[in-house]
Structure 1
Amino acid sequence: MLGMVTEQDVGITKYLNLNNPGFKGRLKERFSDFNVTEIQLDGKLVTLQKQEGETKNGGGEEEAKKNNGPPETYMELEEPLRKLISEDEFNQLIKIESGEIEKVELVVESMSKDERKQVHGICKILNLSSNTINNAKGEKVIQAVKATKKGQNRGGIVHGERGRSKEEKFLHFTLYKENIGTTELISQLAHSLRTKDKYFSFAGTKDRRARTLQRVAVSLIKPESLESTVGRLRCEASIGNYTYHPQGLRMGDLSGNHFEIGIKDVNIEHQVVDEIMTYFKEHGFVNYFGMQRFGTSDIPTHKVGLKILQKDLQGAIDLILKPRNHQYAEIQEALLQYEVTKDADAAFSGLSWKMKNRIEAKLLNGIRNCHDNDKANAFKYIPSSIKTMYGHAYQSYIWNSTVSKRLEVHGTKVLEGDLIGCEKTEGRPSIGRINVRRINTEELSKYSIYDIYVPLPGHSITLPENETKEYILNKLKEDGMDLEAFRNNVRDFDLPGGYRKMLTKAQDVSWEMVNHEKISDDIIPSKINKNNGENVEFKLEGPMKSLLMRLSLESSCYATMALREVMRIQTDISSMKNLEAGLEMEEEIETNDDKDTNKDENGEAAKNGNQNDNKNGDDSEDSNKRKLDDIESCDAKKAKV
């Protein structure tokens, strides 16, 4: 078996700050050391304020479960709940369900917030919809009305009616989660609601080992069903801030992400940290595609992508199904069996139900159901999002290698013929909402290296007219490739190309050194506590020294590459393990189909079919958007680096 992929293997070799001595520290010692908040298209941070009536388990809901149904008489309510509403008020609520009256207003002016939540819970178990409002007298009341009939609401999905208007087709909500990936949590939600993953959409996947806030959209699901389901999940998650919109979310529908990162047990003086962070704030970092782009297992995804682009599907299959060092034992055993016998049916049939959702298993299933020579149809058993990822990884490898060569030869100098962004002009192709043109000698002084784009290879890109062009073409030539090789009749493998800035700067950069007692301390307050206005005491003191970093990055930029520049470390798993226990890499914060790559002039994905809310997706995609979960086979958690 092969060794794990390194930064050098994927073209990551340069740093900007040549005078940075670097320092050691513990990254992601706890999931609470890494906090990600999505920045919406309007530039505002996503927030989560829990509103009355939005609770994981309203008061009285557990009682309803015990009794296998809602209470029919006032005395069936638990005594604490009977203290909140009178028998007459309860009977009035019962009359709403029977249709005798249309609504009831319960005065809750003197109740606490928790007590009002319990009243909402009583309404919920009686199958009523409730909201806190002010009545004509200015009193705070809970208004209860009849909710959708049970027969029309199975698993939270609206059946037997047209539902909301087109303007309110999609429910958008804020999702807070801890220590679980976005796609994994969405799959759990979909399974519990008896719906499909594809009805959920989001602007970007967020890190697994972290606390994250992001917006999610879903169709055909009601808020109360979501709320109830989240309350039953076995992970820490919360939702709220519901709004209705005519459309769902697409990958890239965000302006970036804000990070709060704790680097624990650092061995560096405050003055040196200030010098490093000041340079980072002013100069930024090389905008490399991070190691997450290439997987962290023995066989990098760009090698598979190369085979696909060379139309060697058998070679791609052999790489995907090659046994690897850090796979689940059950998967590894099945692949070892297939490697020897080439009996895909036996290898697949021996897997447990859970393992049959892995990418390797899906490909084995495709092979066993297709003719021996029909590799293209076997590949159809792999979700489109995964298939396109392979090609994007190869594009990213060429981009990284090109930028490293450019920095090695020319540093941060702007060259004649470089590409800059521009307004769209007649006859000029546009990819991923980015229009580019070449600059001439007279314009060199007007632009800095931060304005310069380097193309990702594809069949429709504009190349710079300088040495950078040769770096790209020569690197492709080493693999027997040219730009036309990115054209393919299969939409998942057709790559027009894209553009990405060489260097980038983080925004809203701040930092501080903190002291605390031990390595397991929480040193960053939870966003959900802040957003709910909770006053949580947070005292930090002790012998251990840690660095808190706060920064905002544009979408498709990698926080790991920012940390690499600051700490002067290598972020591949092999390097981390040599230093200690290994670092679990964050999932790609954006989609593998970045918003500035591989799209046509209308900003739509160009034949790549990996839009998150693809309505024509088949059932095989329902629970298989776990790009890294399926490709990564190393699950290391932390590092002293």
Structure 2
Amino acid sequence: MEAINVLSKFLRMRPNVFSYMGTKDKRAITVQEIAVLKVTAERLSHLNKCLNNFKLGNFCYKKHPLKLGELQGNHCGHQEHHRDRGADLILKTRPGAEKGYLVKCREEWAQSQDPEAALKKLSVKHCVEGQLLRGLSMYVKKNIITAFAMIPRNNRLMYIHSYQSFMWNTMVSRRIEAFGVKAVEGDLVLREGTAFVLSAAEAETHSIQDVMMPLPGFEVIYPTHHVGKGYREMLSADNLDIDNMRHRVRDYSLAGAYRRILIKPSDVSWEVINYEDPRVSLVHTDVEKLEDQPPPVFNKEGKYRALRMEFSLPPSTYATMAIREVLKMDTSIKNQTQLNTTWLN
């Protein structure tokens, strides 16, 4: 998202002219396709002279934009509601490391709830917080939907999808706690793209890797065991009706989808390497390969050891969670920031 905002600033265009298939981990070295309307490859290529921390390349022309969720998967290499309440959740103070101007902005919002005063604390106003505050300043809280429309569409969709994912994570945790890692009566599986509820006999012929859990919405069905009923309870607690997930603003209508509880990665490889300098990358990135830079050379007698992994994942599965399963460690932003600080000091 930050890269899109930077590009829109240089091109003097709105962020919503860009399209992409998903967002990448901000702390990783990643490669992905993006599309932009009515901009030449030459113009984009020239931007590389003034871009920091990311590069553009491999240009081509297509007739259609990209859509969220279209990607076929990811190959990963690693080194180790209430509507007005929605605005508060975006603008509230957060633990962990964050840019100074955002800290001051959030503190002002917590104290005054004054969008104009909080906006004045922002030196970078094209961020999501700045866009929301500008909308609140113009339309006040009485027209919160219009205020939210100041945020680019893909950013707004991220908040909706995050809520669905939060519910999915909660329900999956309850389901594993209740039934373990086996298929049971009342679970859902997909057959030729359609969800079905398993009977007791059918559950005996399926594994946990077949079991799906729904992201809430108007196009999905829910497990029929007691864990499935938790969806209704959780949505009701947020003043949402499980039987009426459509909204007069199309972007806020939740269609829903299905995700597997457990995914087995493919193309898995790993090695333990020794190295000397913790500031040197241990991965030969795609940019380095394109620029014919040599791969990193490791000192077999190095005082540090690292686990380097590669694997492929399908859509809607996340490398961060795969790493957490392997390393059994906290993957929160606060903890990862503390690890970085400790390591580099």
**TM-score, normalized by the shorter chain, greater than 0.5:** yes
Secondary structure in 2 aligned to 1:460? coil
- Residue 124 of structure 2 corresponds to which residue in structure 1? 355
- Distance across 2 between alignment mates of 1:218 and 1:560: 28
Point out which structure has higher relative CO (alpha carbons under 8 A, 6+ apart): 1
1:537: Cα distance to partner? 7.0
Is residue 176 of structure 2 the alignment partner of residue 417 of structure 1?
no
- Distance across 1 between alignment mates of 2:28 and 2:140: 44
| Distance change (3 Å), C-alpha of 1:198 and 1:359 | closer
Is residue 116 of structure 2 the alignment partner of residue 345 of structure 1?
yes
2:264 aligned residue (502, 505, 525): 505
- Residue 79 of structure 2 corresponds to which residue in structure 1? 262
Task: Tell me if structure 2 keeps the 8 A contact 1:419–1:452.
Answer: yes
- Distance across 1 between alignment mates of 2:140 and 2:336: 43
- Distance across 2 between alignment mates of 1:470 and 1:439: 16
The one-letter code matched in structure 1 to 2:34 is V
1:375: Cα distance to partner? 3.0
CA-atom RMSD in angstroms: 3.0
- Distance across 2 between alignment mates of 1:638 and 1:558: 26
Secondary structure in 2 aligned to 1:206? coil
Is residue 226 of structure 2 the alignment partner of residue 470 of structure 1?
no
Task: Tell me if structure 2 keeps the 8 A contact 1:189–1:230.
Answer: no
| Distance change (3 Å), C-alpha of 1:331 and 1:229 | closer
The one-letter code matched in structure 1 to 2:149 is K
2:48 aligned residue (216, 230, 254): 230
- Residue 250 of structure 1 corresponds to which residue in structure 2? 67
| Distance change (3 Å), C-alpha of 1:225 and 1:255 | same
- Distance across 2 between alignment mates of 1:534 and 1:363: 42
- Residue 21 of structure 2 corresponds to which residue in structure 1? 203
- Residue 155 of structure 2 corresponds to which residue in structure 1? 386
Q: What CA deviation, in whole Å up to 9, does each residue of 1:146-189 have, x standing for no partner?
A: xxxxxxxxxxxxxxxxxxxxxxxxxxxxxxxxxxxxx3334434
- Distance across 2 between alignment mates of 1:209 and 1:237: 16
The one-letter code matched in structure 2 to 1:363 is L
1:572: Cα distance to partner? 1.8
| Distance change (3 Å), C-alpha of 1:467 and 1:572 | same
Q: How do residues 49-64 of structure 1 correspond to structure 2 at under 5 angstroms?
A: none
Is residue 339 of structure 2 the alignment partner of residue 570 of structure 1?
no
Q: What CA deviation, in whole Å up to 9, does each residue of 1:61-116 have, x standing for no partner?
A: xxxxxxxxxxxxxxxxxxxxxxxxxxxxxxxxxxxxxxxxxxxxxxxxxxxxxxxx
- Distance across 2 between alignment mates of 1:511 and 1:493: 42
Task: Tell me if structure 2 keeps the 8 A contact 1:576–1:639.
Answer: no
- Residue 218 of structure 1 corresponds to which residue in structure 2? 36
Secondary structure in 2 aligned to 1:389? helix
- Distance across 1 between alignment mates of 2:159 and 2:100: 24
Secondary structure in 1 aligned to 2:31? strand
1:491: Cα distance to partner? 2.2
- Residue 404 of structure 1 corresponds to which residue in structure 2? 173
1:237: Cα distance to partner? 2.2
| Distance change (3 Å), C-alpha of 1:375 and 1:196 | closer
1:517: Cα distance to partner? 2.2
1:412: Cα distance to partner? 1.3
- Distance across 2 between alignment mates of 1:525 and 1:188: 26
- Distance across 1 between alignment mates of 2:50 and 2:87: 39
Secondary structure in 2 aligned to 1:500? strand
The one-letter code matched in structure 1 to 2:32 is Q
Task: Tell me if structure 1 keeps the 8 A contact 2:16–2:153.
Answer: no
1:314 aligned residue (65, 72, 84): 84
Which stretch shows the higher mean deviation, 326-335 or 397-406?
A: 326-335
Q: What CA deviation, in whole Å up to 9, does each residue of 1:413-439 have, x standing for no partner?
A: 21123211123xxxxxxxxxx421223
Q: What CA deviation, in whole Å up to 9, does each residue of 1:485-512 have, x standing for no partner?
A: 5332222322122211111111111111
Q: How do residues 95-106 of structure 1 correspond to structure 2 at under 5 angstroms?
A: none
Secondary structure in 1 aligned to 2:255? coil
Gaps of 5+ in 1: 1-182, 264-305, 308-312, 424-433, 584-636
- Distance across 2 between alignment mates of 1:323 and 1:225: 38
- Distance across 1 between alignment mates of 2:35 and 2:222: 38
1:396: Cα distance to partner? 1.8
| Distance change (3 Å), C-alpha of 1:520 and 1:331 | closer
| Distance change (3 Å), C-alpha of 1:316 and 1:407 | same
- Residue 516 of structure 1 corresponds to which residue in structure 2? 275
- Residue 64 of structure 1 corresponds to which residue in structure 2? none
Secondary structure in 2 aligned to 1:563? helix
Gaps of 5+ in 2: none
Q: What CA deviation, in whole Å up to 9, does each residue of 1:514-568 have, x standing for no partner?
A: 1222323332223344456665573432232211111111122111110110011
Task: Tell me if structure 2 keeps the 8 A contact 1:463–1:469.
Answer: yes
Q: Give TM-score, length-normalised by structure 2.
A: 0.85
1:325: Cα distance to partner? 5.0
Identity percentage over the alignment?
32
Q: Which one has the largest radius of gyration?
A: 1
Q: Give TM-score, length-normalised by structure 1.
A: 0.48
Secondary structure in 2 aligned to 1:208? coil
| Distance change (3 Å), C-alpha of 1:191 and 1:262 | same
- Distance across 2 between alignment mates of 1:236 and 1:447: 44
